[in-house]
Structure 1
Amino acid sequence: MRLTEPLTKRFAYGIALGVLSFQLLAQQTVVTAVTEAQKETATQLIQTALESDLGFSIVESLTTEIGPRLGGSEAEKRARDWGVKLGKSLDFDKVSIEEFTMPFWDRGHLHIELTSPYQQALYGTALGGAAPSKKNIDASVVYFRDIHALAEVKNGSLVGKIAFVDGDLLVKSQTGAGYSQANQRRRVGWQHAQRAGAKALVVRSVGSDSHRFPHSGMMSKNDDGWAKIPVIAISNPDADHLRRLHNLGKPLNISLHSESKWKGEVSSGNVILDLIGSEKPDEIVLIGGHLDSWDLGTGAVDDGAGVAITTAAAALIAKLPKRPKRTIRVVMFGAEEVGLLGAFAYAKQHKDNLSNHVVATESDFGAQTIWQLVSNVNPQATELMDEIAKVLSPLGIVRGGADIAGGGPDIIPLAQQGVPTIRLNQNGRDYFDLHHTPDDTLDKINPDELAQNVAAYAATIYMIADSDVDLKIPKTK
Structure 2
Amino acid sequence: MRAPLWAAMAAVLFVGSAVAAPRETRIPQAAIDAAAELRERALASDLGYKITESLTTQVGPRLAGSEADARAVAWAQAKFRELGFDKVWLEPVTFPKWERRSEHAQVLGANAQPLTLTALGGSPAGTVEGEVARFADLAALEAVPAGSLAGKIAFVDFAMPRAKDGAGYGPGGRVRSRGPSAAIRAGASGFLMRSAGTDSHRMPHTGITRFDDGLKPIPSAALSAPDAAQLSRLAALGPTRVRVALDCGWDGEATSHNVIGEIRGKSKPDEVVIIGGHLDSWDLGTGAIDDGAGVGLTMAAAKLIGQSKLRPARTIRVIAFANEEQGLYGGKAYAAKHAADVAKHQIGAESDFGAGRIYAYSSSAPDYAKTADAQIAQALAPLGIEHTPGKGGPGPDISPFAAGGLAWARLAQDGTDYFDYHHTPDDTLDKIDPKALAQNVAAYAVFAYLAASADGDFGSAAKKVTPPEE
TM-score (norm 2): 0.91
Letter of the structure 2 residue corresponding to residue 341 of structure 1: Y
* Counterpart for residue 311 of structure 1: 299
Secondary structure of the residue aligned to 1:125 is strand
Q: Is the CA contact 2:49–2:437 (under 8 Å) kept in the aligned structure 1?
A: yes
Contact persistence 2:28–2:455 (CA under 8 A): no
1:466 counterpart residue number: 453
Amino acid at match of 1:465: A
C-alpha separation in 2, matches of 1:471 and 1:223? 40
Q: CA RMSD in A?
A: 1.7
User: 2:403 is matched with which residue?
Assistant: 416
Query: Which sections of structure 2, spanning at least 5 residues, go unmatched?
Result: 1-23, 466-470
Q: Secondary structure at the match of 1:188?
A: helix
CA distance in structure 2 between the partners assigned to 1:392 and 1:195 by the alignment: 50
Q: Secondary structure at the match of 2:398?
A: helix
Structure 1 residue 426 corresponds to structure 2 residue 413 = yes
User: Are positions 1:194 and 2:184 aligned together?
Assistant: yes
Match of 2:259 in 1: 271
SS at match of 2:436: helix
- Contact 2:25 2:454 (8 Å CA) reproduced: no
Work out whether residues 106 and 261 of structure 1, in 8 Å CA contact, stay in contact via their aligned partners in 2: yes
CA contact (8 A) 1:376 1:404 kept: no
CA offsets 1:129-182 (integer angstroms, 9 cap, x no match):
10110xx322211111211111012222222211111112x2221111121112
Q: Deviations over 1:208-263 (max 9, x none)?
A: 000010000001242237x6210010001111112222233x21111121111100
Out of 301, 323, 344, the residue aligned to residue 311 of structure 2 is 323
Pair 1:140-2:128 in alignment: no
Separation in structure 1 between the aligned mates of residue 174 and residue 271 of structure 2, nearest angstrom = 39
Q: What amino acid is aligned across from residue 303 of structure 2 in structure 1?
A: A
Deviation at 1:32, TM superposition (A): 7.5
Identity of aligned residues (%): 48
Give the drift of 1:473: 5.6
Q: Is the 8 A contact 2:31 2:310 kept in 1?
A: no
**After superposition, where does 1:400-411 map in structure 2 within 5 Å?**
400-401=388-389, 403-404=390-391, 406-411=393-398
User: Deviation at 1:39?
Assistant: 1.5
The match for 2:197 among 198, 203, 207 is 207
Gaps of 5+ in 1: 1-30
- 1:105-125 per-position Cα deviation (integer Å, ceiling 9, x unaligned): 011101111114411111100
Distance 1:406 1:471 in 2: 15
Count residues in correspondence. Answer: 441
Instruction: Tell me the residue number matched to 1:231.
Output: 220
My pick for the range that moved more, 40-49 or 192-201, is 192-201
- 1:351 has 2:344 as partner: no
Q: Please give the alpha-carbon distance, in whole angstroms, between the structure 1 residues aligned to 2:85 and 2:311.
A: 11
Q: CA deviation at 1:404?
A: 4.0
**2 CA distance for matches of 1:187 and 1:246?**
24
Question: Partners in 1 of 2:140 and 2:57 — Cα distance?
Answer: 43
Q: Which moved more, 1:42-51 or 1:115-124?
A: 115-124
Provide the residue aligned with 2:169 in structure 1.
179
Shifted more, 188-197 versus 301-310: the winner is 188-197
Q: 2: distance between equivalents of 1:304 and 1:437? A: 14
Is the partner of 2:62 in helix, strand or coil? coil
Q: Distance in 1 between matches of 2:65 and 2:115?
A: 28
Per-residue CA shift, 1:409-463, capped at 9, x if unaligned?
Answer: 1111011001100011010001110100000000000000000000111111101
Cα 1:32/1:357, change in 2 over 3 Å:
closer
Match of 2:320 among 324, 329, 332: 332
The answer as to whether partners of 1:370 and 1:425 remain within 8 angstroms in 2 is yes
Task: Note if contact 1:359-1:421 (Cα within 8 Å) is conserved in structure 2.
Answer: yes
Deviation at 1:127, TM superposition (A): 0.3
**What does 1:61-460 correspond to in 2, within 5 Å?**
61-133=54-126, 136-168=127-159, 170-224=160-214, 228-248=217-237, 250-401=238-389, 403-404=390-391, 406-460=393-447
Counterpart CA distance in 2 for 1:466 and 1:438 is 41
Contact 2:25/2:455 (8 A) holds in 1: no
Give 3-state SS (helix, strand or coil) of 1:327's partner: strand
Q: TM-score, normalised by structure 1?
A: 0.90
Moved over 3 A (4+): 473-477
Q: Distance in 2 between matches of 1:377 and 1:384?
A: 9
Taking the aligned partners of 1:159 and 1:247, their CA distance within structure 2 comes to 20
> Map of 1:29-48 to 2, 5 A cutoff?
33-48=26-41
AA in 2 matched with 1:138? E
Q: Which amino acid aligns with 2:91?
A: E
Q: Distance in 2 between matches of 1:329 and 1:110?
A: 40
Taking the aligned partners of 2:96 and 2:285, their CA distance within structure 1 comes to: 22
More displaced, 230-239 or 347-356? 347-356
CA 1:221–1:411 in 2, change beyond 3 Å: closer, same or farther? farther
